[in-house]
Structure 1
């Protein structure tokens, strides 16, 4: 990790302030710094893990935030806006923006257990632009840097997720490429009618599913939709010119809709070939 000295000091101070908070079971550095994709403008993303039956008090988190925030900050309760992005804090400090993310240890454990069995979820309404995939929890565990983990929870999880589960790979590829396949079928009809609203919705939806399949093909956990192309850098099985192809598919006008759909179909076929036979359509559309 290449963290500027001033931010490293702040990270150390905040970690020390969180450790004695009753109910805080582990603290990690996550986000772009942990993933090695940080820029000068990157936030410090700090994960705060707790057990469901022994959560910390939000007021205690507010006390920690008050020590470092230089302007009014936001501190949320648990699960105020959905089942996956289950709370946190956002503050501006003298060293830049810092985000806290709450993580329920029991929920993360259940998610990892299900993933090993080939089960995953995507909640579209949870956050823009494409929702929250349960696989993000595995990505967070994989890249995070434990700062305080007295029970070794993160160490155990890291060992589990270090090998991408084959059942998860097969499930994501099958479901994602089928969803894209079915969406393509719908998109062609919408494009023929010059229905921009529905065609563009289909294009974005299908591209999202194709990207999910590509991560699974390459046995990588996506850390959300930000910098998705950078996350796939160095992957062995990626269509040549992927970024350009995606840009061409999503840059539309009323007169190009059928062309956009044709480009999407071609990209889908490329990824199907990269799946090495793991994808079979449910029906012949």
Structure 2
């Protein structure tokens, strides 16, 4: 994980403090450090799991935060700003920025169960730029480093998510590439009118859909939209020059807007070819 000595010591102390809080079911290290993508400036992301019928109290989390924060910190209650990123805390410590993320054990379990059936969702309003995918919960479980897991909840989940659900793969590929297809159909008309607002929105939306499809094609769980191509590094099935092609689609000016749409069509064709026949258009547009 390449944690510096002072961050490792801080992580150990915080984990020990959190496991003393009534209602804390498990504590994990997540984020870029758990994923092996951290830099010296990366935050420590600590997941705090709880049972919905006996959660911890935000006041108790505030007391833990007060032990380590060196400046005013933020501590939230549950589900104050959405149904997926369901609470947490942000603080600056002597070893850098630390984030707490609450996770509802029952909600994560339900999300994993639904994924086995090919059920997923993306909550656009939850966070910028493209929302929160339910599949992120599976990604978090897959990469996290348990620090406190007395009931073995994370261990059981890790075994389940170690195999990418075939039904989830098919659903994400089908739905994401169809959404990109339908968006493309709309985009051409906006571009012809030089409608920048709607064209650019469509370009970004369709690229997001194609990235979701590529994760599923390669049976990888996305951790979110940050460093999305880095998360796909080493994947077997990617369009050649993906980063350059994606940026060429998204770098828009009013004079090149129709060219951007053509680049998007080409990228969509590349991704469809990689789907091994799992994608069929819902309608012929």
TM-score bracket, normalised by the shorter chain, equals: over 0.9
Pairs aligned (count): 285
Report the Cα offset of residue 263 of structure 1. Answer: 0.2
Following TM superposition, by how much is the alpha carbon of 1:202 offset from its aligned partner in structure 2, in angstroms? Answer: 0.2
Aligned to 1:272: 272
Distance (Å, rounded) in 2 between the aligned partners of 1:254 and 1:267? 20
CA distance in 2, matches of 1:58, 1:255: 52
Secondary structure of 1:84's partner?
coil
1:26-37 aligned within 5 A = 26-37=26-37
The residue that corresponds to 2:11 in the other structure is: 11
| d(CA) in 1 for partners of 2:15, 2:255 | 55
How big is the shift at 1:208?
A: 0.2
Q: Give the distance between the partners of 1:132 and 1:243, measured in 2 at CA.
A: 22
Q: 1:136 matched to which residue of 2? A: 136
Asked if residue 83 in structure 1 is aligned to residue 95 in structure 2, the reply is no
Aligned pair 1:69/2:69, yes or no?
yes
Structure 2 CA distance, aligned partners of 1:48 and 1:247? 36
Aligned counterpart, 2:176: 176
Q: Who is 1:261 aligned against? A: 261
Q: What's the counterpart of residue 166 of structure 1?
A: 166
Which residue in the other structure is 1:106 paired with?
Answer: 106
What SS is found at the alignment partner of 2:103?
A: strand
1:49-64 correspondence to structure 2 within 5 Å = 49-64=49-64
Instruction: State the alpha-carbon separation in 2 of the partners of residues 58 and 271 from structure 1.
Output: 45
CA distance in 1 between partners of 2:205 and 2:158 (Å) = 31
Give the superposition deviation at 1:275.
0.2
Q: Secondary structure at the match of 2:46?
A: strand
Matches within 5 A, 1:231-246: 231-246=231-246
Aligned twin of 1:20: 20
CA distance in 2, matches of 1:4, 1:268: 42
> 2:221 aligns to what?
221
Corresponding residue SS for 1:184: helix
SS state at 2:181 partner: helix
Structure 2's unaligned 5+ residue stretches are: none
Give the structure 2 partner of residue 153 of structure 1.
Answer: 153
3-state SS, counterpart of residue 61 of structure 2: helix
Give the Cα–Cα distance (whole angstroms) in 2 for the partners of residues 191 and 269 of structure 1.
19
- The 2-side partners of 1:194 and 1:19 are apart by 57
> Unpaired runs of 5+ in structure 1?
none
**2 CA distance for matches of 1:136 and 1:40?**
24
* Whole-angstrom CA distance in 2 between matches of 1:194 and 1:229: 29
* Superposed CA RMSD: 0.3
Q: Give the Å deviation of 1:2.
A: 1.2
1:230 CA drift (Å): 0.5
Whole-angstrom distance in 2 between the partners of 1:165 and 1:269: 25
Separation in structure 2 between the aligned mates of residue 76 and residue 20 of structure 1, nearest angstrom: 19
